[in-house]
Structure 1
Amino acid sequence: MPTSIITTDDLRDFKLELLDDIKKILTNQSQGRLKKYLKSSEVMDLLQISPGTLQNLRLNGTLPYTKVGGILFYDSEEIQKVLNDNRVHHGLNS
């Protein structure tokens, strides 16, 4: 098996590429650019919820979903709508 030597220049280049990729991801998230449809694992990561909580949100009708085959998909715009509709404003005089 051939060996390849990694130099400090290689590591620096890798670091710069990795930082660029992370910046792109963070920029897309901060600009609200999500994929149109998210899988369950992506929704759980996005909302920081457990599989059981996601299931409860599906079953009680809070979070709409589409099932294709055995895979559940969630519309990212619907997730944002649910979050906006359930926003709690404290200390506002109405």
Structure 2
Amino acid sequence: MNVELVTKEDLDNFKEEIIREIRGNRYLKGKEGEPPREWLKSYEVRKLLGISAGTLQNLRLNGSLPYTKVGGLMYYKYGDIRKLMDGFDEH
């Protein structure tokens, strides 16, 4: 059996790679020449961040990502998503 060790540096590099990929996502950039929409639906946030519905729920419950509920739909401010992503950069 081959065993590979994963170092903290490997994990830091992986984190940086994921953040770069998310930032390159079209939802963050908007369409050509347009700013991104101010409010995103849950499925768009999950796709943008590459997370599951359960992870998004945990972000809501622990207060990491504020949301607004309209009817049965959850909406998230683009600026709040950026703040969350910027918080990942600081760690």
Tell me the CA shift for residue 29 of structure 1. Answer: 5.9
Q: TM-score with structure 1 length normalisation?
A: 0.59
Paired AA for residue 66 in structure 1: T
User: Match of 2:61?
Assistant: 59
Paired AA for residue 47 in structure 2: D
RMSD across aligned C-alpha pairs, in angstroms? 2.6
Aligned residues with identical type, % of pairs: 48
Distance in structure 1 (CA, Å) of the matches to 2:90 and 2:34: 21
User: Match of 1:73?
Assistant: 75
Distance in structure 1 (CA, Å) of the matches to 2:43 and 2:77: 13
CA deviation profile, 1:27-57 (whole Å, cap 9, x unmatched): 6368783211000000000000000000000
Moved over 3 A (4+): 25-32
Question: Structure 1, unaligned stretches of length 5 or more?
Answer: 1-24, 90-94
User: Match of 1:49?
Assistant: 51
Q: Point out the structure with max Rg over C-alpha.
A: 1
Question: Structure 2, unaligned stretches of length 5 or more?
Answer: 1-25
Aligned length: 65
Equivalent residue of 1:87, what SS?
helix
Tell me the CA shift for residue 74 of structure 1. Answer: 0.1
Paired AA for residue 72 in structure 1: M
